[in-house]
Amino acid sequence: MELEQVVRRNKNRGYQQLRVWNDAVEYYGRTCKVFRVFPWGLKRVVSQAIACADSVHRNIAEGYCRRSIKEYLSFLYIALGSLGESVSGLHAYRQAGQLSVEDYELLDDFAYRLEYGLLNLIEALEKKRNSGEWIDQVMVKGSNAEYEVWDYEDVDT
């Protein structure tokens, strides 16, 4: 059963439009699919493999939502580190005979694509930071009526 995707738009959810975030979510899903069939005796390996894949998309989103270029870049570097941790695990699991060649290639190839996307995003943001093009603020457009904001002077106390 596939969940219907409801599109919600606001400035703080803009990361959902990033190809690299979508790729990171897909990488997490692919990682889960590969590792969920591992035997119970390797539950620690499974847990760690899934956790570092999960960390990638979460750090992309958190950095974006911080709205500060410095923090955004910091979280993107953390995402890149989590991806490196994930790929390191793939190599180790393959060498230990715990991961098939097919599953290794599937995940490693996708991780390479994701890494390339992260590096490109980091480079683009560093250029914006260095040129002064980045504005560290959230500007929400819309009326207060949309958010049912109360006029506190009209409220009886």
Kindly give the confidence (pLDDT) of every residue in the chain, 157 residues in length, as a single tens digit, with 9 standing for 90 and above. Answer: 455 665 655 566 778 889 999 999 999 999 999 999 887 888 888 899 999 999 999 999 999 888 788 999 999 999 999 999 999 999 999 999 999 999 999 999 999 999 999 999 999 999 988 998 877 654 444 444 444 444 444 444 4
> Where in the chain are the domains?
12-154
Residue 157's pLDDT is 41
Contact between 110 and 30 (Cβ < 8 Å)? yes
Using only C-alpha atoms, the chain has a radius of gyration, in whole angstroms, of 20
Q: Which amino acid is at 14?
A: G
CA distance 53 to 83: 7
Contact between 28 and 53 (Cβ < 8 Å)? yes
Residue 4's pLDDT is 63
Residue 96's pLDDT is 92
Angle at CA 145, nearest 5°, toward 142 and 149?
110
Domain 12-154, CATH homologous superfamily name and number: 23S rRNA-intervening sequence (1.20.1440.60)
Q: Which amino acid is at 55?
A: S
Query: Which positions ≥6 away from 21 have C-beta within 8 Å?
Result: 15, 57, 60, 61, 64
CA distance 98 to 112: 21
